[in-house]
Amino acid sequence: MKALLTCVLMLISAGSIAIADTIAVIGTGQVGSALGPEFAAQGHDIVYGSRNPDSQKVKDLIAKTPGNAAAKLPKDAATGADIVVLAVPGLMVEEIVRGLGDLSGKIIIDPTNPLTGDWSTEIGHGVSTSNGRIIQDAAPDAFVVKAFSTLNWRQMIEPGGDISIPLVGDSAEAKEKVAEIVSAMDLHPIDVGDIDNARWVEGMTVLLLNNRIAGRPHFELHLRVVNE
Ligand SMILES: NC(=O)c1ccc[n+]([C@@H]2O[C@H](COP(=O)([O-])OP(=O)(O)OC[C@H]3O[C@@H](n4cnc5c(N)ncnc54)[C@H](OP(=O)(O)O)[C@@H]3O)[C@@H](O)[C@H]2O)c1
């Protein structure tokens, strides 16, 4: 028994074993339905936080999620989680985060964009700071990491090539943890600073979506790191 424990500890310290976390995925729309199964495939335990956890839509999502996924009301899902993913409407994040209870010590993954405007003509960025900053202020003792906000939900499931995922957040350890999750999805994490840089990351989404709306090239982000 002692030998087995020693072996496991050695493997963990060598980085060979990813520790499974309980991840609450709040919201069961396009992004929640893409990320939940992807995170579960990495061995994490998924609890969906839905306003209607007993709905057929959520049951179907649980059925396509590897492992023993479950669904609860958002606050109940967040309570038992190590990591909380906010796959929710971008202009509602403050209200939704405040409804999740005490998030102290948890990592919050923020894929949201506070988009305004008309999707047939032009969209805009609808807050004076950023959703990353708003979420961090609403949960000051949590570790917010903005990630996935620049990526279409389809490429969350199948990247189809090299795609960068900019990460912003004030905690280096939280960013490192999220970077591991991102890398395991065959995406390329890149640290682009603290949470106040969320405004510029969200701006990249506005840029790429407006390019698409205007009929200019539809692109994904692929940032080449230069070692100088
Ligand atoms: N779609 C994309 O490709 C994409 C890509 C990158 C980032 N994002 C961002 O990710 C976030 C989620 O996008 P999404 O496309 O997944 O949105 P969505 O399909 O509309 O899903 C949002 C989910 O949020 C939950 N929710 C909680 N409170 C809500 C409320 N008051 N009204 C409506 N829904 C509520 C709902 O789940 P329940 O019904 O289970 O409560 C809903 O299914 C947005 O901020 C978006 O900007 C989207």
Q: Yes or no: say if 78 and 100 are a contact pair by the CB < 8 Å rule.
A: yes
Residues (pLDDT < 50) of the chain are 1-17
Number of domains in the chain: 1
Characterise 170 by phi-psi region: left (phi > 0), alpha (psi -120 to 50), beta (else). alpha
Inside any domain, residue 223: no
In a domain, 220, yes or no: no
Q: What is the pLDDT of residue 62?
A: 98
Confidence at residue 18, expressed as pLDDT on a 0 to 100 scale = 59
Distance 92 CA to ligand 1 centre (A): 10
Distance CA 97, CA 135 (A): 7
Q: What is the pLDDT of residue 4?
A: 37
Give the closest residue (by CA) to ligand 1 atom 46: 112
Domain of 139: which CATH number?
Answer: 3.40.50.720
The ligand 1 atom nearest the CA atom of 58 = 40
Residue 4 forms part of a structural domain: no
Q: Would residue 171 count as lying in a domain?
A: yes
Whole-number Å distance, alpha carbon 71 to ligand 1 midpoint, is: 16
> Is position 227 within any domain?
no
CA–CA dist 160, 91 (Å, integer): 30
Which pLDDT tens digit goes with each residue over 30-78? Answer: 999 999 999 999 999 999 999 999 999 999 999 999 999 999 999 999 9
Q: What pLDDT, on a 0 to 100 scale, did the predictor assign at position 10? A: 34
Nearest residue CA, atom 25 of ligand 1? 27
Helices (H), 42-171: 56-63, 74-79, 93-98, 131-138, 153-157
Count of positions (residues) in the chain: 228
pTM of the entire predicted model: 0.94
Q: What integer pLDDT is reported at residue 5 of this predicted model?
A: 36
Candidate from 25, 61, 88, 187 with most ligand 1 atoms within 8 A of CB, to mutate: 88
Contact assessment for residue 97 and residue 135, using Cβ atoms and an 8 Å cutoff: yes
Domain range enclosing 133: 20-213
**Residue 89 near residue 19, CB atoms below 8 Å:** no
Q: Is residue 222 part of a domain?
A: no
Kindly state whether residue 42 falls inside one of the protein's structural domains: yes
- Lining ligand 1 with CB less than 6 A are 27-32, 50-52, 87-90, 92, 96, 111-113, 115, 148-149, 151-153
In a domain, 174, yes or no: yes
